[in-house]
Chains A and B, each alone.
Chain A
Amino acid sequence: MTKVNDRFRDIGAFTPLADDDMLICRCEEITKGEIRKAVHEGMYTMTEIRRYLRCGMGLCQGQTCAKLVKGIVVRELGVLPTELEPATSRVPMRPVEMRVLAKEEGRC
């Protein structure tokens, strides 16, 4: 569902926090501070955060960190958790070797 999202609105300035170096996305090693800073650089949706920082793009595809990332982004933007859509889940559900994925009946 699309909704109007003005990227010029004031969300306040970025202020460093004591736990900014805490790792949130373990697969891609992205910290809380990097996520908070990305919001202030204009990344207002979970999809943009993911594309900008790679968090949720590693082996687990965000199955571990997506909720944590969302909590951080929601607080930074000052919106309700229900207002922030999750990023699109992609196939495959688990990492699959190319030689397995390549196999279809009678091929490869």
Chain B
Amino acid sequence: MQNTAQVVIIGGGIIGCATAYYLAKKAISVIVLEGSDHIGNGGSSRNGGGVRQSGRDPRELPMVTWGIKNLWPYLTEELGVDVEYTQKGNLRLGKTPNHLNILQSLTDRSAACGLDVKMIDGDEVRQINPYLSKEVIGASWCPTDGHANPLTATLGFYKKARELGVRFITGEPVVELKKVKGKLRKIITSHDTYEGEQVLVAAGYESRAITAAVGIDIPMQAVKMECLVTEAEPYMFEQMLGTAEADFYGHQSKHGSFVFGGSTGMETYNKDNGKQISTSLGASCTCRGIIGYFPALSDAKIVRAWAGYIDECADKIPVISQVEEVPGLYVACGFTGHGFGIAPGAAYNIAEIISEGTPTVDMRAFRYDRFQAKI
């Protein structure tokens, strides 16, 4: 089998799969190498499914809004897989005056960038979602936010890219990158060697170790987060939800189950040596968070809980960039736990950078060389 392609992508998550798809649409040959046994085995299939603009860093807004306008509404039809995209708004909830202050500043920051987001009071919140506790005194409301299914979206991009001739190989962890005559050329895995004119590293936190071979270091750390899902419940609501304190977030899926994520405060202090394993604290803590806002859900049964790693970048926004000092190298990583919603837009634009040099959306905020010491 031919081990050479114009573009080799390292990482078979949603970024790798979607970029492969958008490149294959331009008739560019692509090989995707995934280190684990499964496509989309990292954050891509372990996240809560938010397709959100509100609450984001202003530097991410043009990219995510562009994707929500131009890609998300058409993905199900384009990929031939139901990605369950639902655009019914996002409520970020508050229970105390301090919460409202947090929400107000997030809202002001996004509204200043032109996003349709506003503060609403407790009664207005319950008009949108009547199941919320009376303790909720206000929320930020962004009607153009939504959610989708991370599993079918990631595997949908994979399926479609594969149909277009992209060669995917799983269980192929990259050990080293090598230059030939000053240009990145060879990708050495534990079993084989691959060659490409251009190489995109989109391997989440593992990208840091991979690009180290060619002297590039993206400041990231791995932060573990946990999610859970209930059995299928009767239809209740369609909005994406979050809270000012970020104690939980989630939505009801098309299937009827509720998918919620939450944090315990110990996300950066794990003892599991990098394995994506749920802790004994996680699900219980998230359930307390949910019940505090949704008393009606306290009898819903949890059928499954899981954990995943966030590739948290030093300034909390991703690196999506060509690396000019290593000719042939491109990087897309550090999505910091809000990578799913922005993924199609990011992949579309990085595919343009790789194929044509210029993206549709201005990506300068995501440069790899933006990190400076504080003094």
Contact = CB atoms under 8 A, between A and B. Distances in A.
Interface string B139-158: 00000000000011001001
Contacts of A104: 284
A107 B278 CA distance: 20
Nearest to A91: B305
A99 B291 contact: yes
B1 A97 contact: no
A47 B38 contact: yes
A4 B288 contact: no
24 contacts: A2-B36, A2-B173, A7-B39, A7-B162, A7-B169, A42-B159, A42-B162, A44-B170, A45-B38, A51-B151, A51-B152, A52-B81, A52-B152, A54-B255, A61-B303, A85-B37, A91-B278, A91-B305, A92-B304, A95-B301, A95-B302, A96-B301, A98-B302, A103-B284
Contacts of B246: none
A95 B304 CA distance: 8
Interface string A60-93: 0100000000000000000000000100101110
Interface residue SS majority, chain A: loop
Contacts of A102: 284, 287-288, 291, 298
10 closest Cβ contacts across the A-B interface? A95-B301, A102-B287, A51-B151, A7-B168, A99-B298, A2-B171, A90-B304, A98-B287, A8-B167, A5-B170
A101 B284 contact: yes
A6 interface: yes
Given A98-B230, A98-B287, A102-B298, 4 more contacts: A6-B167, A58-B231, A90-B278, A95-B301
A3 B40 contact: no
A102 B284 CA distance: 4
A4 B171 contact: yes
Interface string A1-34: 0111111100000000000000000000000000
A4 B34 CA distance: 9
B191 interface: yes
Contact of B37 (A45, A51, A61): A45
A97 B300 contact: yes
A39 to B, nearest CB: 11
A15 to B, nearest CB: 18
A99 B300 CA distance: 8
A97 B298 contact: yes
Contact of A90 (B45, B169, B173, B305): B305
Contacts of A103: 284
B37 A3 contact: yes
A58 B1 contact: no
B306 interface: yes
Contacts of A59: 231, 303
Nearest to B279: A91
| Range for the number of chain A residues in contact with chain B | 35 or more
B274 to A, nearest CB: 14
B206 interface: no
B297 interface: yes
B297 A98 contact: yes
Nearest to B32: A7
A42 B158 contact: yes
Given A5-B171, A7-B167, A98 B298 contact: yes
B272 interface: no
B67 interface: no
B191 A4 contact: yes
Contacts of B37: 2-3, 5, 45, 47, 85
B290 interface: yes
B169 A52 contact: no
A33 B40 CA distance: 24
Given A98-B297, A99-B291, A6 B1 contact: yes
B41 interface: yes
Contacts of A95: 231, 301-303
A3 B297 CA distance: 42
Interface string B13-42: 000000000000000000000011111110
B8 interface: no
B299 interface: yes
A43 interface: yes
Contacts of B64: none
Contacts of B312: none
Contacts of B290: 98
A97 B299 contact: yes
